[in-house]
């Protein structure tokens, strides 16, 4: 558990590789998500890559921020908070992917014009 809480320093080579591969996943999935059609297998694949890559990448990066900017006495509680947010991020993205339109369609929806509400009778 200590290695997960100190993902930037205690994880060694494995966490650095995880951070690197998460970055590759984000770099590859982003154009895939942008150019894929709604509901396609490519879009779903990008959504599931995002569901793992975003929390892993942000968890390791935020632990580096904790190491660089917080005093040693505050690092333990801050790292627990970072882990909690990483888990909540993963669960939230997975919920969007499994029970909703998916992360890609949710983000693309920010740029679409709202549909007019159906007239009620």
Contact in structure between 63 and 8 (CB atoms under 8 Å): yes
> Which one-letter DSSP state was computed for residue 9?
T
Binding residue positions: 57, 69
Binding residue positions for a ubiquinone: 69
Binding residue positions for heme b: 57
- CB under 8 Å to 53, separation ≥6 — which residues? 22, 23, 25, 26, 29
- CB under 8 Å to 14, separation ≥6 — which residues? none
Rg for the chain, CA atoms, rounded: 18
């Amino acid at each position: 558990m200590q290695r997960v809480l100190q993902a930037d320093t205690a994880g060694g080579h494995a966490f650095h590789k995880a951070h690197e591969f998460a970055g590759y996943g984000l770099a590859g999935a982003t154009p895939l998500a942008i150019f894929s059609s709604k509901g396609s297998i490519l879009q779903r694949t990008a959504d599931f890559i995002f569901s793992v890559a975003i929390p892993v990448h942000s968890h390791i990066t935020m632990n580096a921020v904790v190491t660089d900017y917080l005093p040693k006495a505050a690092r333990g509680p801050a790292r627990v908070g970072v882990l909690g947010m990483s888990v909540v991020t993963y669960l939230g993205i997975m919920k969007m992917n499994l029970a909703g339109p998916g992360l890609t369609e949710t983000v693309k929806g920010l740029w679409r014009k709202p549909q007019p509400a159906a007239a009620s009778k």
